[in-house]
Amino acid sequence: TQLLEQSPQFLSIQEGENLTVYCNSSSVFSSLQWYRQEPGEGPVLLVTVVTGGEVKKLKRLTFQFGDARKDSSLHITAAQPGDTGLYLCAGMNYGGSQGNLIFGKGTKLSVKP
């Protein structure tokens, strides 16, 4: 069974601070996705990384896929209250399980003004 472990589970910081969220597995994934979910809404896709070592930037968010495609990180620079939400990583393998996503349990981020 493939598992994705996210850390930390909870994170409460002040506006302007930097933070990093980690997503780790013992399994290799074809691609890794990051989603953000706000209360009362469904997850929204932020980014997909597919190549080992790949780095993608989305404004103040930087996503990295590990060289071995087993782990990923999300770094937020100068966090803002609007970044508050549940961040989910999800791994996909195109070969095995019909390409179904395997989700981590999430990191709940609170950014205080």
Partner 1 sequence: NAGVTQTPKFRVLKTGQSMTLLCAQDMNHEYMYWYRQDPGMGLRLIHYSVGEGTTAKGEVPDGYNVSRLKKQNFLLGLESAAPSQTSVYFCASRTLYGYTFGSGTRLTVV
- Residues near partner 1, by CB under 8 A: 31, 33, 35, 40-45, 48, 88, 90, 98-101, 103-106
Query: Which of residues 12 and 18 has its CB atom nearest to partner 1 in the complex?
Result: 12
Q: Please, what is the minimum distance in Å from the beta carbon of residue 48 to partner 1?
A: 5
| 86 CA to centre of own chain | 10
Q: Cβ distance 50 to 88 under 8 Å?
A: no
Q: Please, what is the minimum distance in Å from the beta carbon of residue 23 to partner 1?
A: 12
Query: Which of residues 42 and 95 has its CB atom nearest to partner 1 in the complex?
Result: 42
Residue with tokens 């598992």: 3
The span from the first CA to the last CA of the chain, in angstroms, equals 41
Query: Which of residues 3 and 78 has its CB atom nearest to partner 1 in the complex?
Result: 3
Q: Please, what is the minimum distance in Å from the beta carbon of residue 22 to partner 1?
A: 16
Q: Please, what is the minimum distance in Å from the beta carbon of residue 29 to partner 1?
A: 13
Distance (Å, whole) CA 98 – CA 39:
29
The secondary structure element, H or E, covering residue 87 is strand 85-92
Here the tokens at position 22 are 């980690």
Query: Which of residues 19 and 101 has its CB atom nearest to partner 1 in the complex?
Result: 101
Here the tokens at position 10 are 């909870």
